[in-house]
Structure formats: structure tokens, C-alpha cells
Structure 1
Amino acid sequence: MARRTVFGMVAGLCFAAANTVPAAAETLASALSSAYVTSGLLDQNRAVLRAADEDVAQAVASLRPVLSWSGTVARSYGSSRSYVSSPGQPLLGVPPSGDWQWQASTTTTASIDLIASMTVYAGGSRVMGFNAAREAVLATRAALVAVEQDVLYDAVSAFMDVRRATETVMLRRNNVRVIGEELRAARDRFEVGEVTRTDVAAAEARLAEARSALAGAEGDLAISRETYKSVIGHYPNGLVPPSGLPRLPATVEGAKAQALRNHPNLTQLRHSVAANDISVKIAEAQMEPTVTVRGTWGVDETFDSRSASRGGTVSIGVDGPIYQGGALSSAVRQAMANRDASRAQLYTAGKNVERTVGSAYASLRIAQASLTSTGEQVRAAQVAFNGIREEATLGARTTLDVLDAEQELLDARAARISAQVDQTVAAYAVLASVGQLTAEALALDVPRYDPSEYYNLVKTAPVRSQQGEDLNRVLRALGKN
């Protein structure tokens, strides 16, 4: 299938309403595809990934010059007191006459400045910040894969739970029908004196129990249908049982090795450890001096006169910490502690992944063994039920014997249904434990989400360009703009 991305798709899915069902029967693959396309949890985490991509763009922007402007219009007003002499010729040797007077003054000025600045050295913290942001993006991508696995596993569980509930309801209905026939037969035989009233009462009690169990099974089916709709996106209809199990690693040891290499939880933690390693270096770089180049050019105008000025400055500034009360050293120690914690978390997660793989294989083997044994149990219980019912018609068995045999056959069939469901769910749990329960690994026919597409558009921090227009187009396609 040709690779498609989510950016080019327009979802055309039609969701089933409460009283409508899809026209065609549904396979497990189609249910998984629907869950993948309609999952709000995947949409949420894709948005989280896009936000992490923007951190890279902002880290790139910190490496570039900053261009800004500022403008000011100011009106100054006030008054000053000065000595004002009287008009006329003063006498020789006599100071001129006059008086001290207050004089008001106002001035209106305007200025506009263009400012360019760039940090040329900061101990390498800005470049390391870019590297840390990139590691965070890779960690978030792995987290998205983990969410995808959860969504698909929930879809498998919902599909198989509906299958289990549906077959259980059919089994319970058949049980009610069979016990109803036994009750009618018991009443007929009671009328002719072949059985006692006790036999009829036992059949009546067993029929009431069967009807109660049927009501419970129908309730479980209704609950499973609602869960299915929540996970898959529509109500189930005519679910087709899976034709087989997915391909799994041949050995537990091989599966564990694959999980340690590819499990998204471990991949996420590896990148988190790398980001925390960089964070230690960033904290250490905060103790280094910062060198900044700054240039300004501006115009000043005075509205009350013809005076004006224009000009600019170019400066190089250097600053650095001398004493901050131990805050910088504390930040370094804190970054180291976070790094050590993430390393320990990675080690623990690796052990947990190995344990999960082993447990998943054990559950699969248990389900397979249970499926084999329940198959034999159903065969034997069927033979026993047929024989006891035949013996009952000859008077060698009581009605209670027939009802007990029917119950044993019912239990065997129910156990076989559960074993079939458990085997399928356990197989997909093995896939999830090794990190292979994804749309790509399962070859689902869905538009694939390419996490690198958005990243490639924003990693250079576009503003006004063809690349920026492409980004706007992508956001519109996603319905985010």
C-alpha cells in the first residue's frame, strides 16, 4: 500500500448511531483501522508532539539575531522662576529694577528606534538547548507510539469482548431452549407417572436460573457494545472471528531482545536520558559569561522647534555571574540528580519490559493450553450429555442427571469461548510487549501519521515564506487553524 500521511487526508468515516449498524460484517483488522483513525487520544498526543516540535523552532530562533523597534511620544511641561527686569534705563550704580516671575514651558518630542541584538556567546547553552529540544521531540515521538499501542490493544480487547459476549448470549439462549424442552418433557413424563414432582421442580428451577444467566449475558453484551463504540467509533455488527494469530517472535529470549531494542517506552526514556545529560551541561554553562552585540539607530524630533537628531550606536556587552547565593551550583546539582534519576528509571523500565514480555508469553501459553483442554472438555461433555439424555428417556437417569449434564456442557462451551478470546488477546499483548502493536507493523489500511512532516516544516522556525505558507496549509488540513 502506498504510504500516506495524515496531513493529506480528509476523514470520511460514517459513525453508527445508537440504533444503526454498519452494513457489512467487520473483521478485527477493520476494527483496528477504525480505532486508529477515530482515536481522540491519538489526536491529543499528536498535538503534544507538534508542541514539542515548536520547542525546536524556538531553540533555533534563539540562535538568530533579534530585531525590534520602539517608539515614544512625550510631552513635557512645567514652570521655572526667573528674575525679570523692568523696562527703562537704570541709574548709574543702581541695580535695574524688576521682579521674580514664574514662566510656564511645554515641549513635545517623538523618537523611534530600530534595535538589533545578538548573543554571540553564552557558554554554548543555546546550541545545547537546541539539542535538548530535539531529544525531547524524539522522546515525544516514542510516547506517541506507546499511545498508539494502547489504543490498538484496547481495540483488540473491545473486539474480542464483544465476540465473547455475543457467543455467550447465543450459548445462554440455546441453554434456555434446551432446558425448556427438558421441562416440557419432565411435565409430560410426570403426567404419565414416569417422574416425580421433584423432577419437574428441579427443571423449573434450572430454567429460571438459565433465564437469569441469559439476562446477565445480555447485559454484559450491552456493556461490551458501548465499550466497543467508545474505542472503535461505532457499534459492532456481525463481527468476524480472527482467522489466526499475528506473527510473533519464535522464542521468549528473542522477544525480550527485540523489546529492549524497539519498545517505545524504552526509546522514550533513552532520549529523556540524553536530554537530561544535555541539561547538566546547560546548567554548567549558566556560570559562563555572556557576550552580546547590540546596534541601534533612531530619530528624535521636537515638535515645538526645528531641532532634531538622528544617529545610532553599536556596542558589545559582556556580563556574567559573580555571586548568586549558590543558586547556579544548586541548579547544576539538581540537573545531575534529574539525570541520575532518568538513568535509573531507564534501567528499571528495561527490567519491567523483560518481565512483561515473559508474562505475556506465559499468558499466551496458558490460553493455548486452556483452549486445547476445553476443546476436549466440550467433546467429552457433549458425549456425556447425549448419553445421559438418552438414558433418561429409558428411565435409567433422572431429570436432574440430564440437567447436570447440560450444565457441565454449558460450562465447557463457555470455557472454550473464553479460552479462544484469551488466546487472541494474549497474542496481541505479546505484540505490544515487544513494541510491534502499531498500524505500520500490522499493515493496517489507514492514513499513516508521519511525525517528521510537521517537524521538517517548523524546525527552521519559518515566519513569512513559502515554507510558512505550507505550514498554514497543513494546519488547515488538520482543522487546527
Structure 2
Amino acid sequence: MILLPGGARMFGRKFAELSCAAILMLATPSLAAAESLRDSLRNAYKNSGILVQNRALLRAADEKVADAVAALRPVISWSSRFAHAYSDAANSEGLTTSLNAKWLLYDFGSSDLQTEALKETVLATRQSLVAIEQNVLLRAATAHMNYRRSVEFVSLRSANVELIEQELRAAQDRFDVGEVTRTDVALAEARLASARASLASAQGELAKAAAEYHAVVGREPGDLVTPSSLPELPKDASAAISTARSHHPELIRVKHEVAAAELAVKASQLAYRPRLEAGAGLSNVDLDGEVTRSLSLTVSGPVYSGGAIASASRSAIAQRDATRARLHVAGLEVEQTVRNAFVVLEVARSTGEATDRQIEAAGVAFRGVREEASLGARTTLDVLNAEQELLDARVSRISTQIDEQIASYSLLAAMGKLTATALDLGVKTYDPSEYYNLVKSAPRAKSKQGAALDRVLKGLAGN
């Protein structure tokens, strides 16, 4: 709970009080039940616009597979042509209608290779969606914890203002009886002004943290609570790296891209091979004339392309080599990210333990200095310095606790385990295979599968 300063005697103090009240109204619009980090992650997953956007992009990639499958089926088209011809001798006009079918029978597997490459692209796009999901959840966890940090800072700064006000009154009383000089009172007044400035800054940070939370989670922050424990994590960096190598979406994505590039190279090497196509047609002149029927088999292939086919093949090989190199780089980057996250987590843990001891010692020192000051053995400046040291230690402890939580979720993301499924958030997750299974066979619009797709799309439009 945030402690507000009371009994203001100066305009600046009144302004700080009103500012804090306004921020509290923004940050906690209702007296709702406490919201856990799990609640924030669930809401972020359900309300994320960027997830909706990239799910649509994945469905677009699914449709490219359907396009490739449809290209291997017969294509039937019709046409109707009316022509009017005239000359000095005579005029004539006629209506011609035709129905034509065309079917690719054989191309040495080139089309099949291109379809398989598109399937690998779909799998890669799915991993991109997983990576975006991780980013959304990590940002939500960070926003939740940073809001908690800001709330604690405002509370701590408010209490600090009240404490220094007490010290100022004590200094003023001692000055009135001649125990201290005007300098002691001025020191207390200066420290109070500094404390109020720090409180105003903390209130500003709270407002920004609330805005970030709303942007990520899709709702105003309520009574957010700090988790009482950390998520389950590996014991060392080696175990975390091993998990990342098999689960990180970036690595899996690039592996699928390498597979797609390999298939593209094979397909490009078949560009010189011929194609066998079958054709059929019906045509009629003036609708009441004789119907002309035709059947055809066409074998075609390139003879000379000016070097374009060879260039395309070399380009495919270069793209494959670049993707292979990208896989190596991605592996190194993921390993480095895991190690960095593990180091940050260990630093936060060690700093927290040291800060606990610092708070205990600073608390003993502050109480002792204040007691000695009441007996005339210490100055007001000594009391204020001891109080500041205790405050700094408490601020550091709050930060290390928050940093430890954020670092733990950053480590999960680096391992590829920060997903709604892995965290068991209890939300209905998006199944990327549902839409793909409906479209992979390229169903007609007026078919049973086409009707099922319409229902799916209507449901997605509601999101």
C-alpha cells in the first residue's frame, strides 16, 4: 500500500500530495482483488494485438502451401468473345465461347519440391510466432515487476519524507532551546526538499510504469503483487544452454529455413527439365454453330534464357549458404543470451544477500545515531546521513528483488520456455495446426472444408 504524506505546510508539499493521489487513482481504479504475475501474463496473452497480427501472417503462409497444391490440379477456365468486323465490302460479327482445361502432368518433381519448401516456411513462421509470444510475455512480466518496483519506491519515498519532517521538527525544537544552530535546521530543510523531489520523481516513474503495463497487458494495473517465489530454473548455465538448443524458437526457425533453402536449391536445378502438360477445350461460334473439341499434350522446356536460369540456381545456392551460416550465428547468440541471463540472475541473488546485511547494519546505525543525537552526542547532519544510508539500502533491496524476478523470466525466454503452454497459464492457446490442416489440401470455397474454414475465420475475426 502506498503511504501518502500528510499535514503539508508548503505549496510544494501540497502539490506532491495531489500528484500522488492522482497517480493512485490512475493505477488502482477499483478496490479489486490482488493480481498476481500469472494474472498479468494471462491478460497479456489474451489481449496482445501483435500476437493477433502474427497469427494472421502465419495463416497467410499456410495459404501459400494451398496455392502450391492447387497449381498441381487441373485448371478449368472459360471465355466469351464478341467481335464485329467491317470493311468497305461487308460487315460481319460473331460470338465465340470456349471452355478450356489445363493440367500439369509431370515436371520431374520441381513443383513438389517447391511445395515442400513452402511447408518448411510454414514451420519456420510458427517458430517466429512462438518467439513473439515469448517477447510479449517477457515484456508483461517486466512491466508487472517494474510497476511493483515503482509502487514500493513511492511508498518508501513517502515514508522518508515523513521521517525527515520529524527530524526537521526535532531540529527546530532543539534550535528553539539553543541546543543546535540554525545550520542544523537548514540542513534538515534542505534534506526535506531533496526527499520531496525524490518523491515527485518516484511518482512520475509510477505513472510511466502504469502506462507501460496498460500498453502490454491491455488493462490498468490493479493491486499487483510480487511473486513469493521464482519459477523453476536450471541449476547452472550448461543445463540452460542444453535446453535452449532444443527449445529456442529462433534456432528451430532457422533450421526450418535451412531445410527450405535446401529444397529451393534442388528445385532450381530442375529448371532446365521439360514440363508435360495436358489440355482440353470446347469452343462454339455463334452458340448455334458446330462445337469444336480439342485434346492436347504439350512438352515444353527452355532452350536459352540468357543466363537467367543459371543465375537463379546460383542465387538459391548462395541463399542456402547464408542460411546455414545464420544457423551457426543463431546458435552462438542463443548461447550468449543464456549465459548473460544466468549471470544477471546470479548477480541479483548475490546483491540481494549483501543488501540484506547492509539494511540490518544501517538500521542499527540509524537508531543508534538518532539516540545519540537526542543526548547531544551527534549532530542533525549525522542523523540525516544515517537515515539516507538506510534509505539507499532499502531502495537497493527492492531493486534487487525485482531484478531477480525479471532475470528469472529473461532466462526462461532465453531457454525458449517462456510460453503460455510451458508456464501452464491456464488460457486457451492458439493452435497453429488447426488452420493449416484445413487449408493444406486447398479445398474449394463451396466444399465441406471450405465451410469449416468460413466458421474458423469468423471466429478469428471476433478476436
Q: Shorter-chain TM-score: which interval?
A: over 0.9
1:147 aligned residue:
132
1:209 aligned residue:
194
TM-superposed deviation, 1:251: 2.3
Q: How does 1:18-29 map to 2 (within 5 A)?
A: 20-21=29-30, 23-29=32-38
Higher mean displacement: 471-480 or 262-271? 471-480
Counterpart check, 1:284 vs 2:274: no
Q: Deviations over 1:326-350 (max 9, x none)?
A: 1111111000000000000000110
Residues 36 and 226, structure 2, Cα contact 8 Å, conserved in 1:
yes
For residue 56 of structure 1, the aligned residue among 59, 65, 70 is 65
TM-superposed deviation, 1:19: 8.0
TM-superposed deviation, 1:143: 0.3
TM-superposed deviation, 1:405: 0.4
Q: How does 1:59-458 map to 2 (within 5 A)?
A: 59-80=68-89, 105-301=90-286, 308-458=289-439
The amino acid that maps onto 1:285 is L
1:475 aligned residue:
457
Residues 17 and 234, structure 1, Cα contact 8 Å, conserved in 2:
no
The amino acid that maps onto 1:150 is N
Q: Deviations over 1:390-417 (max 9, x none)?
A: 1111111111000000000000000000
TM-superposed deviation, 1:46: 0.4
TM-superposed deviation, 1:114: 1.0
For residue 466 of structure 1, the aligned residue among 427, 443, 448 is 448
The amino acid that maps onto 1:276 is A
Mark the CA change 1:480 to 1:273 in structure 2 (over 3 Å): closer, same or farther.
farther
2:9 aligned residue:
none
* Secondary structure of the corresponding residue to residue 119 of structure 1: strand
1:12 aligned residue:
none
1:4 aligned residue:
none
Q: Which has the larger radius of gyration?
A: 1
Q: TM (normalized to structure 2)?
A: 0.92
How well do the aligned residues superpose, as a CA RMSD in angstroms?
A: 1.5
* Secondary structure of the corresponding residue to residue 103 of structure 2: strand
* Secondary structure of the corresponding residue to residue 117 of structure 2: helix
1:97 aligned residue:
none
CA distance in 1, matches of 2:177, 2:336: 65
CA distance in 1, matches of 2:228, 2:193: 37
Residues 69 and 442, structure 2, Cα contact 8 Å, conserved in 1:
yes
Mark the CA change 1:217 to 1:18 in structure 2 (over 3 Å): closer, same or farther.
closer
Residues 22 and 236, structure 1, Cα contact 8 Å, conserved in 2:
no
CA distance in 2, matches of 1:470, 1:322: 46
Gaps in structure 2 of 5+ consecutive residues: 1-24
Residues 34 and 223, structure 2, Cα contact 8 Å, conserved in 1:
yes
Q: Deviations over 1:204-250 (max 9, x none)?
A: 00000000000000000001100010011111121111010001122
Q: Deviations over 1:361-410 (max 9, x none)?
A: 11100000011111111111111111111111111111100000000000
TM-superposed deviation, 1:428: 0.5
Residues 21 and 236, structure 1, Cα contact 8 Å, conserved in 2:
no
For residue 44 of structure 2, the aligned residue among 35, 45, 66 is 35
1:9 aligned residue:
none
TM-superposed deviation, 1:319: 1.1
Residues 165 and 192, structure 2, Cα contact 8 Å, conserved in 1:
yes
* Secondary structure of the corresponding residue to residue 285 of structure 1: coil
Structure 1 or 2: more helix by fraction: 2
TM-superposed deviation, 1:123: 2.9
TM-superposed deviation, 1:107: 2.1
Instruction: Count the aligned residue pairs.
Output: 438
Residues 114 and 298, structure 1, Cα contact 8 Å, conserved in 2:
yes
CA distance in 2, matches of 1:17, 1:375: 33
CA distance in 1, matches of 2:462, 2:111: 30
Residues 126 and 432, structure 2, Cα contact 8 Å, conserved in 1:
yes
Q: TM (normalized to structure 1)?
A: 0.89
Mark the CA change 1:168 to 1:18 in structure 2 (over 3 Å): closer, same or farther.
closer
* Secondary structure of the corresponding residue to residue 72 of structure 1: strand
The amino acid that maps onto 2:403 is D
2:7 aligned residue:
none
The amino acid that maps onto 1:479 is A
Gaps in structure 1 of 5+ consecutive residues: 1-15, 81-104
